[in-house]
Structure 1
């Protein structure tokens, strides 16, 4: 079963198997969150629930939301003692405001950033905190440039295919300040990321994350694009037989004004 977000599809088990670095790198953001026993915390874009489970070890009451029903089903299977819900983080609301919101590697998929920011502010109690890490300006630029170049050369590219929102710190801080947050700390850092699966790493990455580009194509066209993107990115991203992708992340700590 696959779930569409626009044209993006998710295979939850393959995601866990080949892209486990996503939740692995999120451990530092959990430290920024510093969850406390009894707190109500929303995991905004929880994926298959690994970091929700980590947060729950503190004794916090965690509720994970994600747009992908398959991701949520996998999270419920792995962590049946925790609370998960299929929901669109761009518009989700709750009756009971939370003490904190945590989000890892999710906000850059929510292209309606103003609505997402408002939804998060509305879901927090006054003085509640937001800790998020996501793709910042320049994230995976080698791949996104190659996708655009290759597909444009074949006449297959449309700007609407781009599924990502990668802001600068200034852009994002300004956005959430407008909806009532006070930004306490923010960093924008490079994090070169080794892909798993050796030579197949880039192809697996494209299959997992570039569906909004590739799923518009026929099987033959898709094969052409994947192979040409691999060759265009190889000089920049292949090091000693491993794919190393130019990830750039924003990590931010903000508090909702009282």
Structure 2
């Protein structure tokens, strides 16, 4: 009996420890954590602005920033300008997605085009948007077209470079297998290349969404006569820091919502990758 007990003890000691599972949070817990985090941030902002002695021109109180929502709503400048900015952004992003995805697939799928066109796409991708402002103003002037064009030039290259790289990640064995079954170029593209790049297309759209919003923000600061960015410029000229902070929060909230939506779409598209 003692020998059996000794063997069991040795077996227990030699058994590797059970793997520790990382803690995961439910959807409700994530929402609660986010709400509590935001509430603490708002309270801390209010207390620091009131007790630190920093002039309100530099750091207004959070209550004053929230008050600008009601002030702008009463003045009738909030929803109208938000709608103008949203229209311009949606038009620019729609043009970017419709043009950049096929272009990226084409350039990434043909080596000679990748060698010729690829460097120019990368140059445009790395170019700061502000450098394009004088050229855009010469092309189209100060109007809504300038803002749409800046959104396209901000989002389009970001989408293209991701898709170009995605086309290079396609497994050659899959292409050879399709060729062995006498698949043509179109069939290889539709049945091999496109399903393999769908998750990367979702990632490309997520990058384009954020960069397009930056383009919209820059365009409205320098070329707009309306829109929420133009209202921010006017508030800065009037030293209304609370309104400037409020519009910044609007941009941040809009950006977070868009990125969250594209991350959800990217997660759905990842089913293609696992398949």
Fold shared, TM-score > 0.5 on shorter chain? no
Greater helix proportion: 2
Higher Cα radius of gyration: 2
Greater strand proportion: 1
Could you state the TM-score of these two structures normalised by the residue count of structure 1? 0.23
Could you state the TM-score of these two structures normalised by the residue count of structure 2? 0.22
